[in-house]
Amino acid sequence: MEEALWFALVFGALALLWRINVDARATANEAAHAACAEAGVQLLDGTVVFRSWRFARGADDRMAFRRNYVFDYSDDGVSRRQGFVILRGRDVELIGLGPTLVQTTVH
């Protein structure tokens, strides 16, 4: 009986972690789509790709995951350039297209 409880706890924790990461990726996707639309460029492949994560402290001194996502876009329909989205916790911290930053949002 005790083994079943441990299995359920581990499975529940893994399911929760998976769900949090799926939500974070959806947030990064929305931010990339909005940044490309605002800049008048075409988002290629239609999605972001997870690059890395680390722990970081926010302005409120709380620890959170800082996730880094990348995506490809084209400004002329021929070239392929890379942009990025950085999330801290659930919030978009920074979005960049090529050499220019599109939006900075720190909550």
Give residue limits of the domains in the chain. 2-104
pLDDT at 107: 45
3-state secondary structure of 98: coil
pTM of the model: 0.81
List pLDDT tens digits, range 69-80: 999 999 888 888
Residues 6 or more apart whose CB falls under 8 angstroms from that of 56 comprise 63, 64, 65, 66, 88
CA atoms within 13 A on the CB side of 8: 5
| Both tokens assigned to 94 | 């920074």
pLDDT at 9: 93
71 touches 45 (CB < 8 A): yes
List pLDDT tens digits, range 88-99: 988 999 999 876
Q: In the structure, what pLDDT confidence band is assigned to residue 100 with cuts at 50, 70 and 90?
A: low
List pLDDT tens digits, range 38-74: 999 999 998 999 999 999 887 778 888 899 999 999 9
